[in-house]
Amino acid sequence: MGEMSGLQLGVMGALFLSVASSVSIVICNKALMSNLGFQFATTLTSWHLMVTYCSLHVALRLNFFENKPIDIKTVMMFGILNGVSIGLLNLSLGFNSIGFYQLTNTIQKRLNVSSTQLLYQSAPFQAAILFLTGPFVDQCLTKQNVFAYKYSPVVLGFIVLSCLIAVIVNFSTFLVIGKTSPVTYQVLGHLKTCLVLAFGYTLLHDPFTSRNILGILIAIVGMGMYSYFCTNDTKRKQLVDISTLPQIKERDTTPLVASHQDKESKGSHV
């Protein structure tokens, strides 16, 4: 019972961390790109991953987790594929896709590694592919050169803040994948989208259209139905477990009674 409650607390903590960090980084990046004119999202993502790898390397040195030697070819391909997908999507919440979940979960199980170990091993390859292609992709999208941009202290401050939040985003994303199902991961993505729209309207005064409102309402209904069915399924499993307890006890006690009666029977014969 204690282990189950501890596991549930771990899952809830991972979900909260993922939602809070994802919403925070999107709001931070919106301010950076919309208000300050820093439009180089792909290059910024490469910096995110580099800072994530450096942070994990420090955590490894401090013995917060144990590194595990794994197949370098598999990790390299995983890192490159994810790096390319991020570059193509070029959206913070676009990274939160079911395809990414399935790929990451499959690699974790195949290599028998934790989420932290997989992130530590794959982050350098993701960062490298985005660092090399990012300036070219951003120039195609924005018609601007990231190296010719004039970096003010405010912009640099927001970039540093974005990179620090990204460490939590990347860590919590891999953590959630290791602890939840694909459906939960998708519902979590819809929740993030709703919160981003709400905070964007409140803090950054983004326009709020009828399409946004309709999308949020549909997502809320979907999340409510998901919670309802999950709760019912949990209750059903608990009832099944409770109903099987008497049968288990009866099976456990029957041999003992039979054995005791056999002994009495043998004693009377003697």
Query: Which range (91-105, 127-141, 142-156) has the least confidence?
Result: 91-105
> Pick from 208, 235, 256: which residue ends a domain?
208
Q: Do residue 36 and residue 118 come from a single domain?
A: yes
Q: Do residue 115 and residue 244 come from a single domain?
A: no
Q: Do residue 198 and residue 249 come from a single domain?
A: no
- What is the predicted pLDDT for the residue at 63? 87
CB atoms within 10 A of CB 267: 8
Q: Do residue 144 and residue 238 come from a single domain?
A: no
Task: Say how far apart CA 104 and CA 75 lie, in whole Å.
Answer: 10
Q: What does the DSSP assignment read for 195-218?
A: HHHHHHHHHS-----HHHHHHHHH
pLDDT in tens, 78-102: 888 777 766 555 444 334 455 566 6
Q: Do residue 200 and residue 251 come from a single domain?
A: no
Q: Do residue 69 and residue 119 come from a single domain?
A: yes
CB atoms within 10 A of CB 84: 14
> What is the pTM (predicted TM-score) of this model?
0.68
> Pick from 208, 224, 253: which residue ends a domain?
208
What is the tally of structural domains in the chain?
2
CB 177 within 8 A of CB 108: yes
pLDDT in tens, 36-89: 889 898 899 899 999 999 999 999 998 888 888 888 888 888 888 777 766 555
The pLDDT-based confidence of 260 (bands split at 50, 70, 90) is: very low
Q: Do residue 89 and residue 173 come from a single domain?
A: yes
- What is the predicted pLDDT for the residue at 195? 75
> Pick from 184, 208, 232: which residue ends a domain?
208
- What is the predicted pLDDT for the residue at 54? 93
Q: What is the extent of the structural domain holding 98?
A: 2-208
